[in-house]
Amino acid sequence: MNLTGRTVVITGSSSGIGAQAARQLAARGATVCLLARRADELEVLRSEIVAAGGSARAYRVDLTDPDGCAAAAAQILADHPVIDVLVNNAGRSIRRPIRDSLDRLHDHERVMAINYFGAVRLTSLLLPRFLEQGHGHVTFSSTMSTQLPIPLFSAYLASKSAVESYARSLMAELGHCGISTTIVYFPMVRTEMSGATAIYSAMPMLTAEEGGTWIVKAVTARPTRVTSLQGAVSQVGMSVLPGVLSKVSAPMFRRMDAALARRSQR
């Protein structure tokens, strides 16, 4: 897809993968609509993109606020006669054992509020424009850990699995109307979110810039999914032999966490 003159809406674009994707998409000629809660950081990024010769607009929004989200969407629709792509990239993660979460239902509620309901809310607000145009692409940032579930992230993985199902339903129902979707199954990426877990400082990860290229691929090539070979193989394995793969991988992840903890203390 040639991005010259195209309009791309990106949530969670004040930092990390979203900011890097915005830079790369703008460099390819897209007008990027930057959405996030942190207005100051959005303005810094917008100014940087414009100074580099790109086109960008900033929209401060909290996707968990229905009224604020509706107002931001209305402004985007008023500012841009055609919107070509929505990238649902904003996200939140919580790393906590299930046994420590038995009295913390709010952990699940907080993660679902942004990862699932926030993505569905904004998609629903822009979808009428996509249908009116006869085209529109929606990208959803997810994680390789839904392809091979890992321990300690039950709330996060549940929210991502939910939004993946929504993405597939959207494609199944409205693909014939010109609506397409891509799910991006990211491996670990070194961002502010992953940096909240100290032991991950010792884990090899993609850079945020590399993560941005995955979003660019989703926007330009529009495959049904963007994933790694390891993720694709794991997904097939979980479909065919879920019990065996889960039994084998669980102790492997425990050993990995122990090794990362030792290395991060050196």
Please indicate, yes or no, if residue 2 is contained in any of the structural domains: no
* pLDDT (0 to 100) of residue 200: 72
> Domain for residue 229, yes or no?
yes
Phi, psi of 94 (to 5 degrees): -130, 125
Tokens representing 152 are: 């300690």
Q: Is residue 139 part of a domain?
A: yes
Q: What is the pLDDT of residue 254?
A: 81
Catalytic residue among 116, 156, 166, 185: 156
Q: Answer whether residue 1 is part of any domain.
A: no
Instruction: Name the pairing type of β-strands 179-186 and 225-226.
Output: parallel
CA angle 93, 95, 97 (to 5 degrees): 140
pLDDT score recorded for residue 52: 97
- Catalytic residue check, 156: yes
In a domain, 150, yes or no: yes
* Structural domains counted in the chain: 1
Nearest alpha-carbon partner for 260 in 95, 82, 27: 95
Q: Is 152 a member of any domain?
A: yes
In sequence order, what DSSP letters do the residues of 67-99 get, joined into one string? Answer: HHHHHHHHHHHHH-S---EEEE---------GG
Residue 19: inside a domain, yes or no?
yes
Provide the pLDDT for residue 194. Answer: 73
Please give the share of the chain, as a percent, with pLDDT higher than 90: 83
Q: What is the CATH number of the domain that holds 35?
A: 3.40.50.720
Structural domain harbouring 44 = 7-264
Tell whether 177 is covered by a domain: yes
Q: What is the pLDDT of residue 266?
A: 65
Q: Is 112 helix (H, G, I), strand (E, B) or coil?
A: helix
- In Å, how far are 95, 156, 264, 265 from 261, measured between CA atoms? 15, 21, 5, 6
User: Which residues does the chain have with pLDDT short of 50?
Assistant: none
* Model confidence pLDDT, tens digit, residues 86-123: 999 999 999 999 999 999 999 999 999 999 999 999 99
